[in-house]
Structure 1
Amino acid sequence: MGIGAWFGFGRRSTEPAEPVATTPSAPTAADLVESVDRVEQQAREGKVPAMVQSRLGRVCRVVRDTVPRLDSLGAGSPMGYDVVATATNYLPDAIGGYLRLPRAWADSRPVDRGRTPLMLLIDQLDLLGATMDDVFDAVCRADAQALVVHGRFLEERFGAGASGGALTLGATPSTPMPPTTDLLGDVADIRPLSPPSGSGR
């Protein structure tokens, strides 16, 4: 046995390498929009009823309007998670589950407390639509609050109460107005000049 083998050099390990755990990356804004686009296309190709198509369109429209503003909710926001889950999970599962059923059966057979799969889908889309409306309202309020704060800053900086932003006309403590009395004294005491004596006239 050579010295290399003694120290373990030159030998191949027979133990399998441990797999490296990889964490899936969070979906981007483009991924979310692409997901709702795909669900809408799936619904159109499946020829879902008009009442389903209109409700789905409402949810997808609000999701598209909300996605660019998700940063306003802050990292780890439950509302932000709801938007992501709606685009990537809730909508695809709801539409896909309905489309996998035979249409006549799904639209006529009660399966849950007298409701057909079509009625269940409509209820789910209504719930998602109301939830996305609440999220969008919260996002817009956050943006509006930022505008309010900025406006108050401008008022404090340049408004009437600010020392550096207002132009004051008239007397100030540092520049008093001149006295209103005539510098020559009383006007009644002023008499016309007479020629000097001995002028020959």
Structure 2
Amino acid sequence: MSSVASSRADQRPSRALRRAAAAEGRVVRRGPAQAPPELVSRRLRSRTWRAANSWWLAIPALGLPWLAFLYMGLRGRRPRWVLAALGYLVAMGGAATGLGLGLGLATGHELLFLVLGSLLGAGTWGLGLVHSIMANSTWLRIKAAFTGEPALEAPTTPAVPPAPADPVSGLQEALREVVRTANRHGGRLPDGAVPAVREVEDVLRPLLAHVARRGAEVEELHNLEAIVTEYLPGALEHYLDLPPDYAETHRLPSGLTPAEELVNQLRLLVDGSRDLQRAVHDHDAQKLSVQGRFLDAKFRRSDLDL
């Protein structure tokens, strides 16, 4: 048990090591680090090293295979060896129980319990010793990979959640895409359609930049989204879905052709964009006026007179 305690103490990082690792931006964790492959190979070829690290075989030889496998399973992090330790412990307990009953009973079955207990104990001892000898090579490979120094790990940086998407920047990109669509299909669109789309862009592009600087209010953002993502691209898409001859010659119930209807809708969007621009600036001016009245009421000269 003292050897187990000393091995755990060897794995505990010293204060100096923790300070040095902190200076390098690394983290010290408990447990041995992996040795370099050349060191592992040199250890396994050394008979002296193999003999010095096979001392644990004395434990099952003394009749305690469960203790040996418990030590190896915990040190080498092998659950199978821990389970084997539990099995040997149960078997040794059964052997001790049989011997105890054989020595304590006076019913005529003492010899039977003594024989069963002795056979179970001897079998457990022999099986544990053979099992230990077979497992020693695996244990030595595990032990050879230990450097005896605490492992150093790079600090784990917490994941930074992505910044929420800016709705105004999305509208700016959507407006650019609508203009690209109009330019790309300029030959299909009627006269006056592409200039109207560009007029809408000339109004909304600086308006979106202004709103992005000071922050968009809910109603403003709703109106901008309606024009940029619904009304303007929708008018172009519906027109481009029509056959060219039909769009230019067919008369709608209103008496207009689809081409004329598209130009009318685009002109309405130009006027609506200008109205929205005016409303945004009027709102900003109103806030400035409200602040001016507040300042006038708070700092007018009559209030400052002594």
TM-score, structure 2 length as denominator? Answer: 0.40
The residue that corresponds to 2:60 in the other structure is: none
Q: Indicate the structure with greater helix content.
A: 2
The residue that corresponds to 1:87 in the other structure is: 228
Q: Indicate the structure with greater strand content.
A: 2
Give the CA deviation at 1:122. 1.3
- In structure 2, the CA distance between the partners of 1:152 and 1:83, relative to structure 1 (3 Å rule), is same
Matched residue SS, 1:34: helix
The residue that corresponds to 2:254 in the other structure is: 113
2:169 pairs, out of 17, 20, 30, with: 30
- In structure 2, the CA distance between the partners of 1:96 and 1:72, relative to structure 1 (3 Å rule), is same
How far apart are the structure 1 equivalents of 2:166 and 2:176?
A: 15
The residue that corresponds to 2:264 in the other structure is: 123
How far apart are the structure 2 equivalents of 1:34 and 1:137?
A: 22
Q: Is the 8 A contact 1:106 1:117 kept in 2?
A: yes
How far apart are the structure 2 equivalents of 1:106 and 1:128?
A: 20
- In structure 2, the CA distance between the partners of 1:158 and 1:73, relative to structure 1 (3 Å rule), is same
Deviates more, 1:43-52 or 1:96-105: 96-105
1:46 pairs, out of 172, 185, 191, with: 185
How far apart are the structure 2 equivalents of 1:50 and 1:148?
A: 43
2:278 pairs, out of 137, 152, 161, with: 137
Give the CA deviation at 1:27. 6.8
Amino acid of the residue matched to residue 181 of structure 2?
Q
Matched residue SS, 1:161: helix
- In structure 2, the CA distance between the partners of 1:49 and 1:161, relative to structure 1 (3 Å rule), is farther
Q: Deviations over 1:99-128 (max 9, x none)?
A: 233334312221333211111111211222
List alignment gaps of at least 5 residues for structure 2: 1-163
1:69 pairs, out of 179, 196, 211, with: 211
How far apart are the structure 1 equivalents of 2:299 and 2:173?
A: 45
How far apart are the structure 1 equivalents of 2:201 and 2:280?
A: 16
Q: Is the 8 A contact 2:248 2:258 kept in 1?
A: yes
CA RMSD of aligned residues (A): 2.8
Give the CA deviation at 1:158. 4.2
Q: Is the 8 A contact 2:190 2:263 kept in 1?
A: no
The answer to whether residue 243 in structure 2 is matched with residue 102 in structure 1 is yes
Matched residue SS, 1:141: helix
How far apart are the structure 1 equivalents of 2:265 and 2:221?
A: 19
How far apart are the structure 1 equivalents of 2:266 and 2:240?
A: 14
Structure 1 vs Structure 2: percent identity of aligned residues? 29
List alignment gaps of at least 5 residues for structure 1: 1-24, 165-171, 173-201
How far apart are the structure 2 equivalents of 1:118 and 1:27?
A: 35
How far apart are the structure 2 equivalents of 1:50 and 1:30?
A: 30
How far apart are the structure 2 equivalents of 1:114 and 1:26?
A: 45
Give the CA deviation at 1:135. 1.9
How far apart are the structure 2 equivalents of 1:26 and 1:132?
A: 24
- In structure 2, the CA distance between the partners of 1:161 and 1:104, relative to structure 1 (3 Å rule), is farther
Give the CA deviation at 1:73. 7.1
How many residue pairs match? The answer is: 139
Q: Is the 8 A contact 1:62 1:133 kept in 2?
A: yes
